[in-house]
Amino acid sequence: MTANGYRDYFKVLGVERGADADTIKRSFRKLARQYHPDVNPGNKDAETRFKEISEAYEVLSDPDKRRRYEQFGQYWSQVGGAGPGGMGTDVDFGRYGSFDDFINDLLGRFGGPGSGGSGAGGFPGGFPGGFSGGFGSGFPGGGFPGGGMRGSAVNLDAEATLSLTYADAFRGCERTLAVNDERVQVRIPAGVKPGGRLRLKGKGNLQPGTGRRGDLYLQITLQPHPIWRLDGDQLRAELPLSLDELALGGELLVATPDGEATVQVPPGMTLGRSLRLRGKGWPLAGGGRGDLLLTPVLRLPDTLSPREKELLEDLRRHRSQDPRQGWLASARL
């Protein structure tokens, strides 16, 4: 990261600026496996690197976020949303003649030269010093845009984004957040989901002269995981199988969020069909657990030994069924 807070997400993922979505995804998977905390227990440098990788992927894998990042650099998160100091309104870039015009206006909103205001957003009693805690920035909907108190009703509630790892969201955790000069302890319940919101009562924006204060809402996001994917109350993952395991089935040792477990794979397992482990998925709000779904994928070796080639040639000679039987005729239009 540079002195002005800018992080080059392309360099973080080790890809060119023109890299397509597949290249970015492949690079993320490779780096995530290398630096994942489970692979590097107790290694703070690896943990920091993993968070940087996840942050970069979250931005570059989203077409809209990537477009804003490439166009506006370190100010990308202020485009069309909230920025530091409670900007709180969408930005109409059609009225700016150049990027410099946008920057000058942005600095003015933050109390810079020519803003005519004081503190955050040009008014006292906002969020001087900003909000920190390892996630997001800015409080959309808070403060008094343009400076000064208005006669109409003011929404003092504030919002911020809280980014969690799958492990923290699965097990629950505690986070200490800094709001102005106040440190707030937040308990994250086990099983919190992306899109959920946590309410911190009386920790929002402060109305000058009255002492009234709104609530702070934390919007939950999950950092991408190289294995697990959340689908409602169900946790999903791909299950790599060899050709013989897929054809013959058998008892296999598989990974679950709680550790290893044994599953029975039926002979002739169809690709795309999932194995369901009941009660091994995501924690539910009312107690209990959702299901864990493992979807088999065929994983062929990078190279075949001479004996493996010999056995496969023998299988080809003695195969009893044509896998494309009836397929060629049915495919005609």
| Measured distance CA(233)–CA(324) in Å, rounded | 38
Given the DSSP bridges, would you call strands 173-179 and 182-188 parallel, antiparallel or unpaired?
A: antiparallel
| Measured distance CA(124)–CA(39) in Å, rounded | 47
199 part of a folded domain: no
209 part of a folded domain: no
128 part of a folded domain: no
136 part of a folded domain: no
Query: Domain range spanning residue 275?
Result: 229-308
290 part of a folded domain: yes
Closest CA to 250 of 284, 312, 213, 296: 296
Do the beta carbons of residue 110 and residue 120 sit within 8 Å?
yes
DSSP character string of 71-83: HHGGGGGGTTS--
241 part of a folded domain: yes
| Measured distance CA(138)–CA(128) in Å, rounded | 11
Q: What is the pTM of this model?
A: 0.51
| Measured distance CA(190)–CA(170) in Å, rounded | 5
List the chain pLDDT tens, one digit each, 333 residues: 544 456 889 999 999 988 999 899 999 988 988 988 878 888 888 888 989 998 899 889 988 888 888 877 766 666 554 333 333 334 455 554 545 555 455 444 433 333 333 333 332 333 333 333 333 333 333 333 333 333 345 678 888 888 999 999 999 999 888 776 678 888 999 999 998 889 988 888 877 777 788 888 999 999 999 999 999 889 999 999 999 999 999 999 998 998 889 999 999 888 888 999 999 999 998 889 999 999 999 998 889 999 999 999 999 899 888 888 888 778 877
185-212: pLDDT as tens digits? 889 999 999 988 899 888 888 777 777 8
193 part of a folded domain: no
Report the CATH number that the domain containing residue 234 is assigned in CATH: 2.60.260.20
198-249: pLDDT as tens digits? 998 888 887 777 778 888 899 999 999 999 999 988 999 999 999 999 999 9
* Strand partners of residue 219: 161, 197
Task: Provide the number of structural domains found in the chain.
Answer: 1
301 part of a folded domain: yes
